[in-house]
Amino acid sequence: MDEGSRMWMVTCTAPVNIAVIKYWGKRDEELILPINSSLSVTLHQDQLKSTTTVAASRDFKEDRIWLNGKEENINHPRLQTCLREKILNLQILRKLKFSLPVRRLARKRRTSGEGNSNTLSLHHKVHICSVNNFPTAAGLASSAAGYACLVYALAKLHGLEGELSEIARQGSGSACRSMYGGFVQWMMGVKEDGSDSIAQQIEPETHWSELRVLILVVSAEQKPIGSTAGMQTSVKTSPLLKYRTEIVPERMKEMIDAIKRQDFETFGQLTMKDSNQFHATCLDTFPPIIYLNDISKRIINLVHRYNSHFGETRVAYTFDAGPNAVIYIREQHVDEFVEVVKHYFPPEENGEHSHRARQLVMISSIDQSRRWTYFLCWSHICTMLMRSQVEVPSDPEEIHKSITLHAISFRFLKGLPVNSVSVSEHLKSSIQMDSIKSGIQYIINTRVGPGPQLIQDANLHLLGEDGFPKQ
Ligand code: DP6
């Protein structure tokens, strides 16, 4: 924490979590209390994370927030749901005022002679700057990572320790599970005040080292109906959701047991069944909620055909409130399965568009003298053009910068390395599916990871010394 010139600043990161037993439906909207317990796997922050810097100063006139490079209205309803910064401050104050760490902190301040005008107060206004390194609202639990990160950073800023998942839960339900690494359950609890509706780690990230997670990004667009609104309608209208509350307790037990025993067969089957039941509940909602698209359904078919070829569950899918598939798989099968995915969903680079983009780049942007340098990078420029509509600058120096910036982020395969292997004709003939060009935008290969982290390196703060976002 920096204590110079009456400004305190901390930066933290927090992970995305992907549920294998889904949370869908609240019994208390205000406190965000779920109708069933849920269980998730925390993804590694090397590939997916939220980073948040929080600064507090008596010089700040008002609370302000910047999300992914853009200032947002801190009172915006969506931000209120995801961040609820003011309420959060109050909750930290109310909740942790009585807890040991705060008293200890206060005592420490008294004995160290603090308490003067340089003392950090909960009444100081805060500046918050937060970025995700993955598409926001694409069904990749961005609000969970973002909110977990904000709660963790505010707690660190005020030197508070203790059970924070109860507070994170009140920003976005699934955020409470992002407060821990590894395998995490959110126990629904029974108390009216929600004090027992908290997350708990079942096993740490080191427990099942061969487990890998592939995210097949089908669409990075915002989902048509958000989780909060979607589950409200499901609670009101879906009889299947009521049935679900009866069967989840047994499923939770089986899932915890499978994880502890590293039994992929049971883990994978339960994961797929629970995802399917969640989406069946969405369809049972009236009017129905449809998160899966044709590509999602093709991925489901592909996984079942792949597993049935081998006569065992090698791969398991799960889908949240969006069309992107999250695949659980063991390390030894990753290379082959990725090759299968590439075979049935060939990446854009081979497509007609890329040819056009290549011509466009050639004609409009390439300085003749540098043609050979850029020749090597054409495919990245083309991918850039097509996936993000990034305008190719006319100045060669700018193109060069652009390539460096975007080359890594627009590769089809991101994250942990994947080796190229061949797929047997026998496997292809068992799968027997048409291939769909550009159905999948890119794949992120990741693994199970740790919970929120405090960043010690002050150079990595997202806010500058003036308390405003760095460029
Ligand atoms: C489909 O946590 O986003 O991802 O509590 O209303 O903010 P709110 O909802 P949110 O719901 C996530 C639902 C899910 C399943 C899951 O993560 O368990």
Exposure of 338 by Cβ count < 10 A (0-12 exposed, 13-18 middle, 19+ buried)? buried
DSSP for 227-286, please give it.
HHHHHHHHHHH-HHHHHHHHHHHHHHHHHHHHHHHT-HHHHHHHHHHHHHHHHHHHHHSS
pLDDT-based confidence at residue 365 (cuts at 50, 70, 90): very low
pLDDT band at 171 (very low <50, low <70, confident <90, very high): confident
334-339-340 Cα angle (round to 5) = 100
β-pair type (442-447, 413-415):
parallel
| Whole-prediction pTM | 0.83
**pLDDT for res 170:** 85
Distance 19 CA to ligand 1 centre (A): 9
Residue 340 confidence (pLDDT) above 80? yes
Measured by CA distance, the residue closest to atom 11 of ligand 1 is: 227
Angle at CA of residue 459, ends 453 and 464, nearest 5°:
105
Say how many Å lie between the CA of residue 59 and the centre of ligand 1: 37
Does residue 324's CB lie within 6 angstroms of at least one atom of ligand 1?
A: no
H or E element in which residue 300 lies: helix 294-310
Distance from C-alpha of 68 to C-alpha of 462, rounded to nearest angstrom: 11
Question: Distance (Å, rounded) from C-alpha 451 to C-alpha 449?
Answer: 7
Here the tokens at position 98 are 């009585």
Contact assessment for residue 191 and residue 174, using Cβ atoms and an 8 Å cutoff: no
199 three-class SS: strand
pLDDT at 412: 87
At 67 the pLDDT is 85
User: How many CA atoms does the CB half-sphere of 155 hold within 13 Å?
Assistant: 27
CB 61 within 8 A of CB 126: no
Is the beta carbon of 36 within 6 A of some atom in ligand 1? no
* Residue closest by Cα to atom 5 of ligand 1: 173
Is any ligand 1 atom within 6 A of the Cβ of residue 296? Answer: no
Report how far ligand 1's centroid is from the alpha carbon of 417 (Å): 30
Distance CA 216, CA 199 (A): 27
Which residues are registered as beta bridge partners of 455?
none
Separation CA 239–CA 242 (nearest Å): 5
Atom of ligand 1 nearest to the CA of 143: 3
Predicted local distance difference test score (pLDDT) of residue 420: 93
Report the atom number in ligand 1 closest to the C-alpha of 174: 2
The pLDDT tens digits of the residues spanning 346-364 come to 986 543 344 434 444 443 4
Residue 182 clears pLDDT 70, i.e. is over it = yes
Residue 417 CA from chain centroid, whole number:
20
**434 Cα: distance to centroid of ligand 1 (angstroms):** 33
Give the count of beta carbons closer than 10 Å to the beta carbon of residue 453: 18
Is the CB of 173 inside a 6 Å radius of any atom of ligand 1?
yes
Tell me, rounded to whole angstroms, the distance of Cα 236 from its chain centroid: 28
Query: Is pLDDT above 70 for 115?
Result: no
Closest protein CA for atom 14 of ligand 1? 320
DSSP code for 407:
H
Instruction: Give the Å distance between the CA of 230 and the centre of ligand 1.
Output: 10
Residue 19, ligand 1, Cβ within 6 A: yes
Report residue 456 as tokens: 């010690």
| pLDDT tens digits for range 17-59 | 999 999 999 999 988 999 999 999 999 999 999 999 999 999 9
Q: Judge if the beta carbon of residue 271 lies within 6 A of ligand 1.
A: no
**Both tokens of residue 430?**
């068992």
Tell me, in angstroms, the distance from the centre of ligand 1 to residue 25's CA: 9
Q: How far is the CA of 37 from the centre of ligand 1 (A)?
A: 12
Above 80 in pLDDT, residue 389?
no
List the structure tokens of 342: 């590439």
Q: Is 178 close to ligand 1, i.e. is its CB under 6 Å away?
A: no
Cα of 362 vs centre of ligand 1, distance in Å, is 45
143 close to ligand 1 (CB < 6 Angstrom)? yes
More confident residue, 174 or 226: 174
pLDDT surpassing 90 at residue 369: no
Nearest-angstrom CA–CA distance, 340 and 429: 12
Please choose from 227, 277, 296 the residue to mutate so as to test ligand 1's pocket, defined by most ligand atoms within 8 A of CB: 227
Higher pLDDT, 1 or 18: 18
Q: Which residue has the higher pLDDT, 247 or 99?
A: 247
321 lines ligand 1 (CB under 6 A): yes
Closest ligand 1 atom to Cα of 231: 6
d(CA 342, CA 283): 30
Amino acid at 181: G
